[in-house]
């Protein structure tokens, strides 16, 4: 158990004293996940508006040490005693040297901020003085152009102030009590937030996974970006505490939910009317979802296709041994039908199209042949190792790994979105999604294919995807798992189907992927 956890008060009176100051510390497993999101835009500075015992600074140090980057820790705290506790928790004077002892809401920093992470003081409205309430009301009008119901607590104004200071493309992670999306004021608040910012994800916790066990607060994390709003957001329910899965999901750019996370892609207007702390309201249907038969994840992101995705000639000229090359497909326009086989890959080769992924693991440079060392040096000279995605890899040339999927899904292209049967055993890049059947037997794969290629299934895509001009649909991995497969097709295919009891064979889990 983290040290700060042991300091959680147990006696009522002690807890009451903390309530006045709003001092509850975030556990490490949650803090690291939140910091990972805030830093995912590449910021080299993290700002915590309510440092307290320094949990987020500690998490930021862990993450920056792991990534080998220098991170500046900046923050605010109103109570100097809390910072003493931060020192007891292992932070040094230098770590705390950029903290101002000041009120974040009433005396905010002057600069905009790229990465903000916060567990604000949960101070309910009846503990706020009338004078402070009047100031907060004015602040709210300045920021949102409107007022909120007087029952909004201090934490709500922390969020508003942080949003106001969030730089363009900046990211903010806030852990808040559920009243933030259930209170009488919440509808006005969230309409404004989601009309002004992009809500990337909302994370909720089952009672067993509560970040604050023993405290009567239902916590919700909001991950918000200062970018154009979109119609959908991800909603996750964390079912288990003290695991790395929440952090891993965020680091994978929300692609790899582990076993202990339930993830839904939700429509914003549904989320606003249902409430973000609650699971989605599904329309009743007897049709099973694709997720009952398969798991979906995005294709490989190389970070520099011009360097890692090569033609046969290029690979030969560079002198890449075949053990470091994987047959790959990168562009949806390179697959004309709904099957890709070896013949089609040969035709692409003959036409001089790239078909090979240069895929190294973390093998040290000195174990590689001279030709490859030189090629990697050229990559460094081009500054590839500094690109945002590539710079998160150790070493920078280490490629993502996936098992070969039996089906691909072309999720956005000039031709309509479609499933593709992968008879060539190619590795898809990010132009495609990987669809892994939950059972790898040839019979199951064939039966599933009859369902996936059927026009009725394809027409259901519009219910889970985002539509663009010209009939193109973009479908994210999680929403593709929610694609309804018409029950009559499922029954006709002969595929083994007992509602809710599908087997999980053949599907890589997060931990298996990290071992690959």
* Structure letter (DSSP) for residue 302: -
Nearer to ligand SAM, 5 or 398 (CB): 5
Q: How far is the CB of 221 from ligand SAM (least distance, A)?
A: 12
| Phi–psi pair at 167, nearest 5 degrees | -65, 160
Site for ligand SAM in 16-45 (CB under 6 A): 21-26
The Cα 415–Cα 132 span in angstroms is: 58
Q: Which residues touch 463 (CB under 8 Å, ≥6 apart)?
A: 483, 484
Nearer to ligand SAM, 32 or 77 (CB): 77
Residue nearest to ligand SAM (CB): 52
Q: How far is the CB of 206 from ligand SAM (least distance, A)?
A: 21
Beta strands 339-340 and 294-298: pairing type? unpaired
Q: Does 121 sit near ligand SAM (CB under 6 A)?
A: yes
Q: How far is the CB of 409 from ligand SAM (least distance, A)?
A: 40
CB 245 within 8 A of CB 176: no
Q: Does 179 sit near ligand SAM (CB under 6 A)?
A: no
Nearer to ligand SAM, 68 or 80 (CB): 80
| Phi–psi pair at 430, nearest 5 degrees | -70, -5
Joined together, the tokens standing for residue 71 give 């991170």
Q: Does 409 sit near ligand SAM (CB under 6 A)?
A: no
Torsion region of 303: left, alpha or beta (phi above 0 gives left; psi -120 to 50 gives alpha):
left
Q: How far is the CB of 199 from ligand SAM (least distance, A)?
A: 21
Exactly one of 28, 35, 43, 48 binds ligand SAM (CB under 6 A); that residue is: 48
Q: Does 508 sit near ligand SAM (CB under 6 A)?
A: no
Residue-wise DSSP of 420-477:
EEETT-PEEBTTEEEEEESS--HHHHHHHHHHHTSHHHHHTHHHHSEE-GGG-EE--H
Q: Which residues touch 500 (CB under 8 Å, ≥6 apart)?
A: 292
Q: Does 55 sit near ligand SAM (CB under 6 A)?
A: yes
Tell me the number of residues near ligand SAM by CB under 6 A. 24
Q: How far is the CB of 46 from ligand SAM (least distance, A)?
A: 12
Nearer to ligand SAM, 23 or 355 (CB): 23
Q: Which residues touch 275 (CB under 8 Å, ≥6 apart)?
A: 181, 182, 186
Q: How far is the CB of 20 from ligand SAM (least distance, A)?
A: 10
The Cα 127–Cα 20 span in angstroms is: 7
Nearer to ligand SAM, 21 or 237 (CB): 21
CA torsion 129-132-136-139 (nearest 10°) is 170
Q: Does 56 sit near ligand SAM (CB under 6 A)?
A: yes
Exactly one of 8, 35, 39, 50 binds ligand SAM (CB under 6 A); that residue is: 50
Nearer to ligand SAM, 48 or 400 (CB): 48
CB 5 within 8 A of CB 25: yes
Exactly one of 8, 71, 96, 105 binds ligand SAM (CB under 6 A); that residue is: 105
End-to-end CA distance of the chain: 30
Nearer to ligand SAM, 132 or 339 (CB): 132
Q: List the beta strands (DSSP E) in 151-197.
A: 166-177
Nearer to ligand SAM, 100 or 289 (CB): 100
Exactly one of 33, 38, 46, 53 binds ligand SAM (CB under 6 A); that residue is: 53
Q: Does 85 sit near ligand SAM (CB under 6 A)?
A: no
Q: Which residues bind ligand SAM (CB under 6 A)?
A: 21-26, 48-53, 55-56, 76-79, 82, 103-105, 119, 121
């Amino acid at each position: 158990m983290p040290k700060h956890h042991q300091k959680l008060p147990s006696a009522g009176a002690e807890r009451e004293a903390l309530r006045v100051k709003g001092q509850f510390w975030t556990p490490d497993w949650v803090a690291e996940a939140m910091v990972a999101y805030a830093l995912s835009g590449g910021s080299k500075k993290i700002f915590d508006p309510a440092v307290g015992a320094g949990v987020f600074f500690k998490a930021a140090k862990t993450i920056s040490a792991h990534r080998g980057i220098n991170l500046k820790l900046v923050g605010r705290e109103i109570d100097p005693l809390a910072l003493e506790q931060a020192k007891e928790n292992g932070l040094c004077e230098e770590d705390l040297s950029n903290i101002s002892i000041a009120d974040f809401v009433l005396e905010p920093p002057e600069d905009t901020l790229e990465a903000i992470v916060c567990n604000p003081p949960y101070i309910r409205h009846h503990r706020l003085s009338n004078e402070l309430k009047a100031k907060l009301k004015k602040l709210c009008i300045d920021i949102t152009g409107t007022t909120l119901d007087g029952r909004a607590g201090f934490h709500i104004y922390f969020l508003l102030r942080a949003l106001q200071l969030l730089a363009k493309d900046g990211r903010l992670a806030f852990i808040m009590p559920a009243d933030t999306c259930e209170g009488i004021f919440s509808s006005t608040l969230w309409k404004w937030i989601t009309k002004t910012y992009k809500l990337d994800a909302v994370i909720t916790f089952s009672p067993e996974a509560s970040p604050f066990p023993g405290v009567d607060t239902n916590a919700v994390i909001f991950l918000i970006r200062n970018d154009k709003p979109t119609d959908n957001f991800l909603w996750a329910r964390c079912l288990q505490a003290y695991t790395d899965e929440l952090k891993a999901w965020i680091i994978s750019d929300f692609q790899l939910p582990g076993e202990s996370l339930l993830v839904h892609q939700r429509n914003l207007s549904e989320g606003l009317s249902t409430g973000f702390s609650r699971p989605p309201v599904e329309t009743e249907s007897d049709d099973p979802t694709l997720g009952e038969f398969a798991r979906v994840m995005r294709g490989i992101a190389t970070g520099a296709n011009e360097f890692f995705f090569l033609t046969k000639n290029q690979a030969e000229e560079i002198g890449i041994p075949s053990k470091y090359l994987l047959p790959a497909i990168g562009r949806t326009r390179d697959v004309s039908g709904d099957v890709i086989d070896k013949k089609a890959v040969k035709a692409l080769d003959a036409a001089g199209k790239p078909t090979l992924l240069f895929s190294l693991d973390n093998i040290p440079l000195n174990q590689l042949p001279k030709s490859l060392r030189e090629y990697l040096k050229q990559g460094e000279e081009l500054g590839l190792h500094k690109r945002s995605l590539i710079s998160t890899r150790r070493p920078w040339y280490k490629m993502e790994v996936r098992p070969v999927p039996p089906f691909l899904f072309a999720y956005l292209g000039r031709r309509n979105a479609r499933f593709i049967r992968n008879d060539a055993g190619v590795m898809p890049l990010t132009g495609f999604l990987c669809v892994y059947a939950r059972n790898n037997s040839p019979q199951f794969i064939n039966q599933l294919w009859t369902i996936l290629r059927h026009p009725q299934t394809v027409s259901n895509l519009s219910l889970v995807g985002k539509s663009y001009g010209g009939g193109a649909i973009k479908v994210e991995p999680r929403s593709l798992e929610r694609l309804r497969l018409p029950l009559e097709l499922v029954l006709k295919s002969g595929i083994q189907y007992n509602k809710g009891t599908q087997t999980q064979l053949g599907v890589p889990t997060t931990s298996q992927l990290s071992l690959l």
